Amino acid sequence: MERVRRPWEGTWNIVRFNWHFYAGAGAACASLLLLRAWPNQPLGPWPQLAALGIAAATLVSLLVSAYVYDGSGLYQLAWLREAAPPHPAAVVNIHAGFDESSHLLLQYLRPASLAVLDFYDPAAHTELAIRRARRAYPAFPGTRAVPTGRLPLPADAADLVLLMLAAHEIRSEAERTAFFREAGRITRPGGRIVVVEHLRDAANLLAYNVGAFHFYSRRCWRRVFGRAGLRVLQEQKITPFVAVFTLTHADSAG
């Protein structure tokens, strides 16, 4: 049975999996407003202004996320036509503990085979949001837990390898490089590796402020791809906040 993505599902997931963040922001605003109302407090209007700043930053990040995950067409996958090879028969989808795309890939691409790999490591990936998401969503049938340094597939196994908002969870650059070297190994000559990521850039800094430092810059991604023996065939944007890199082997003519 096909799984249908519900309206505003992405926004609701952000709120319910990160409720501690929103509760903390609300508590901080309430505390600052109480301080502002305290008789003879020496800070003048600054607590009120600080509360306004926290509320505005929180609201902006939520509105941008609603736009990206529910209003931009990200999960309709039409952008994948430009990135994927035509009619890929063997598709590998790799995620970091929370899989929102495998059911959609089956519906959109209808590949002959879809392998789903999960490199989530509870010792390394300690974010509460991922743990809550894993409890809320059962794993896609047949998902295999894998280490980042060795993907359990033969060489040239895939026409398309997809990493959707996942690769930034590999925090070590050396480990990311080794991982993408493995992704290249399992991709056939002429195949494609498609990497979807927020970037550490001006747009995401404005949207997520310090949260954008969890992402990596365009220069950092391109350095990792090059060291892994891959080259960027195409780079496109899905909104100003999400980049798509289409990769192939550095020595491939395709």
Whether residue 110 sits in one domain with residue 233: yes
In a domain, 3, yes or no: no
Whether residue 118 sits in one domain with residue 100: yes
**What is the maximal distance between C-alpha atoms in the chain?**
73
What sign does the CA torsion over 154, 155, 156, 158 have? positive
Instruction: Provide the residue range defining the domain that includes 117.
Output: 76-249
Q: How far apart are CA 141 and CA 137, in angstroms?
A: 12
DSSP string, 10-69: HHHHHHHHSHHHHHHHHHHHHHHHHHHHSTT-TTTTHHHHHHHHHHHHHHHHHHHHHIII
Q: Which of 207, 221, 17 is nearest to 127 (CA)?
A: 17
**Residue 168 identity (one-letter amino acid):** H
- Structural domain count, the chain: 2
Whether residue 120 sits in one domain with residue 36: no
Whether the Cβ atoms of residue 68 and residue 74 lie closer than 8 Å to each other: yes
Whether residue 240 sits in one domain with residue 165: yes
Pairing verdict, β 230-238 and 113-118: unpaired
In a domain, 149, yes or no: yes
Whether residue 21 sits in one domain with residue 134: no
Whether residue 168 sits in one domain with residue 56: no
CATH of the domain at 93: 3.40.50.150
Whether residue 86 sits in one domain with residue 44: no
Q: Could you tell me the two tokens for 206? A: 């404005």
Pairing verdict, β 158-164 and 187-198: parallel
Whether residue 211 sits in one domain with residue 109: yes
Q: Could you tell me the two tokens for 247? A: 């990769």
pLDDT in tens, 56-106: 999 999 999 999 999 999 999 999 999 999 999 999 999 999 999 999 999
For residue 167, what is the DSSP state? G
Question: pLDDT tens digits, the chain, 254 residues: what are they?
Answer: 456 788 999 999 999 999 999 999 999 999 999 998 988 888 889 999 999 999 999 999 999 999 999 999 999 999 999 999 999 999 999 999 999 999 999 999 999 999 999 999 887 777 888 889 998 888 999 999 999 999 999 999 999 999 999 999 999 999 999 999 999 999 999 999 999 999 999 999 999 999 999 999 999 999 999 999 999 999 999 999 999 999 999 887 66
On the CB side of 71, CA atoms within 13 Å amount to 10
Whether residue 240 sits in one domain with residue 122: yes
